[in-house]
Amino acid sequence: MTMLFEMLNNDSIKAIAKNTVKVGDVYRIKMDERNGIKPKAGDKSRNKYFIVLGFDSEGNAYGGVIINSEINPNIPQSMKNCHLHIECSKYSFLDHDSYVDCSKLKIANIEKFGKWQYLGFFSLEDVQLITTTIQGSPNETKEHLAMFGL
């Protein structure tokens, strides 16, 4: 599939993404500080599981949240409260129980869609819980969420 995307131009990749990416889809995406991800020391990026929650009005960027293996013990309690526990028995693409970080909306640009790896999707019920949690996050603004239809 990646080879196919390498043969397509950016406009074609964008058209495919706009017609296939849905709210609740989970992708493995290489992310960095431009996406709101701090890479580990010595790395320029990290592969993260990204749950699509919405998209901008032009369809050029997706807003979503990431899945972490554990909650960073050094973050404030208000941010810890924005992490939802997800059991791996519910989603086959998870290797172990994890946490959805609903403290801040992350952004993935459509230009990189050809490099994303589709993993599966979250249930509507879980997507609604995630959306409600991020809407209540002290680190988010109504304006930022509204940019992605949230």
Alpha-carbon distance of 61 to 29, in angstroms, equals 13
With tokens 């080879």, the residue in question is 3
| Strands of 34-140, DSSP E | 46-55, 61-68, 83-86, 98-109, 117-121
- 41-88 pLDDT, tens digit per residue, is 776 767 889 999 998 887 778 899 999 999 988 888 888 899 999 999
Residue 147's CB is within 10 A of a number of other CB atoms, namely 16
Options 1.25.40.80, 1.10.1040.10, 3.30.420.40, 2.30.30.110; which CATH number does 2-146 get? 2.30.30.110
Structure token digits, residue 3? 């080879």
**How much is the pTM?**
0.85
**CB of 29 within 8 A of CB of 37?**
no
With tokens 């970080």, the residue in question is 101
Q: What was the pLDDT predicted at 11?
A: 66
- 110-143 pLDDT, tens digit per residue, is 877 778 899 999 999 999 999 999 999 999 999 9
Res 37 pLDDT > 80: no
Distance of CA 144 to the CA centre of its chain: 15
Coil, strand, or helix at residue 28? Answer: strand
Could you tell me which residue, 38 or 97, shows the higher pLDDT?
Answer: 97
